[in-house]
Structure 1
């Protein structure tokens, strides 16, 4: 292969991939799309959206680890956030590059340290067990609304130190994350649905709304001390409010769905509660809540021997990568004893990997372990329903019956 920094390359352009990545049928059932993307080649061009796409491990790793050729500061979604008229909030942490990113990331890692995360564990366990008590009284529940959303919004609100009323919080994050995709009818409807809550969103991220001792308050303190640039703390609060919990809700929903469909795997969790985290890791390997991570190409370059043009976005489609047969055997099976599932790309890769992944895993482990102690079987009582979402793969409803132990 020619030097990827060689701008005089005679390499060919990637093959065209003429599939609408944001069509309803793809959003509802994305696995055939991911298989087709991998089969089409290591890199493809998607003319409908003017972007490139990859679905293989090697190319995904190259792109997400090279912060010079492939930058995040043009936005991690489909559109260039530097263009005028952007409606969604921008994340100063996720959508920045070194050296600006380095200082912010280092400071936030100190705030959200392993010690801090471990300090949350007993609270998570207590609240998970209390919620399971309520769920068993109901018997039939919605795994999304009654379990995943209720638990995550409760504990995440306390940890971050920001109030998260379900209606406004879900509306705002649905708007912000849908707008990571195209400005289509779906994203504009999400914006319309969020409009009544925009005043709440603005107030909720303000300094006076931060509860003392929470992550938001600690971030404001770090800014006051000069360890973060002016305005970063409010932006970080905005990031928590507009996308800091959806992936955890989604991952717990996918885990419950798969455990209900695979009772032998649930039996393993019940027999050994330490497997609760493994059940979550394997579920988000198969069904990562985030569909895609975009980067902007800064100069003419090559990936997998194909010439890529500067100024275009390239999308790493996470589920396609997670199901790469070069990465895993029996890749379509749900196996909570699988080695390496925690190393999938579901939380990203490189310097922009999800800073809250330790919290997310602890939240998931806490509620799944609490269920395993009291529930002998999880049964589906109807078909799971999925959201039509531009950027996320999320269940909308998961009808379950909990059979007490």
Structure 2
């Protein structure tokens, strides 16, 4: 026997209000306590906040589809503002070939080639930062600077115009939420930023070597079509920068808040990958994604009609004490964070997560070799975004090793 939607627990809290986006933890706790499935009355969408239910929805792509958009907009009833992503906003079979191509391009062989180069780049960047003093804002100086230094080169982007990457990503992730003040503020640049990004995806705009050239080579082989190739390149530019920037900021915030864990990492640099994944679990740079029910579906004992938007709170799931235990709200290198949903789960799990990990490992290794302690030098400041738990500023103080 399944319950009706009108018997669900409800909340009128706006999860996209700036104050909730800036500090969502109390809302997440209320959401988990209310029940496995909660109706957000402000938007009439269904919400999942507990780990077990979020993970189940993520892996069940047949019932909870991405092809109607992973934001609030339902592509089946309203036109998308850009051609949908072939990876993030598509389901099999349309999703399969682009995913295979990009998975191979971003696979272990590519990472082996990049590992030494990015380690050297991270050492240069950290030396430059420390040459300016032992207090700095880690967001522009490290978290933004390193991905913007290495990832566009790996893709094969020209130097000119790279300053558009972060504003475009901020617009994109805001667009997954409602049309609120955060999105309205960004919309005036929509045409300009979209035109720039689309131009970079053309074969002739990209270097002869790099991820972009590899995607076009896959089109030449017939692995994907020539029409799909620029959209696959765009996927790199859409999700390959902002998520890594926010993930790097998360791990720097974590080790500054937990100096004992930084000491452990310095003593055992092999913990760098665990530290990054634990920070992604703890902070959840990507806080939310939507799915749409493909058919009438039973969810947490409730019959959900086809075509309903379901909002998965990844950040809430990643701190759910039902799964992670009573210490879920702490950053702990003794924890195995490998089951976190910060990169999604299942068929649509982030295809570039290993690239992000490699960037984080390079930065953490360079810092560990040069910095004995990391502590806050002032209050950090968030940058509200409808999807990302992003940072505007993070003053840090370090002491040399």
Which category describes the TM-score, using the shorter chain as reference length?
A: over 0.9
Aligned residue number for residue 47 of structure 2: 53
Give, in whole Å, the separation in 2 of the partners of 1:382 and 1:315: 34
Aligned residue number for residue 366 of structure 1: 362
**RMSD of Structure 2 on Structure 1 (CA):** 1.7
> Where in structure 2 are there 5+ consecutive unaligned residues?
none
The alignment status of 1:292 with 2:288, answered yes or no, reads yes
- The residue matched to 2:396 in structure 1 has which SS? strand
> Where in structure 1 are there 5+ consecutive unaligned residues?
3-8
The residue correspondences of 1:1-400 to structure 2 (distance < 5 A) are 11=4, 13=6, 14-88=8-82, 90-139=84-133, 140-163=135-158, 165-329=161-325, 330-339=327-336, 341-400=337-396
Give, in whole Å, the separation in 2 of the partners of 1:77 and 1:198: 18
After TM superposition, the score normalised by the length of structure 1 is 0.94
- The residue matched to 2:208 in structure 1 has which SS? coil
- The residue matched to 1:347 in structure 2 has which SS? coil
User: Once the 2 structures are TM-superposed, how far is the Cα of residue 204 of structure 1 from its aligned partner?
Assistant: 1.5
Q: 1:35, 1:320 within 8 Å by CA — same for their partners in 2?
A: yes
- The residue matched to 1:95 in structure 2 has which SS? coil
Q: 2:3, 2:301 within 8 Å by CA — same for their partners in 1?
A: no
Give, in whole Å, the separation in 2 of the partners of 1:248 and 1:240: 12
Instruction: Count residues with an aligned counterpart.
Output: 397
Give, in whole Å, the separation in 2 of the partners of 1:198 and 1:107: 24
Q: Provide closer, same or farther for how the CA distance between residues 334 and 283 of structure 1 changes in structure 2, counting only shifts above 3 A.
A: same
Give, in whole Å, the separation in 2 of the partners of 1:101 and 1:193: 29
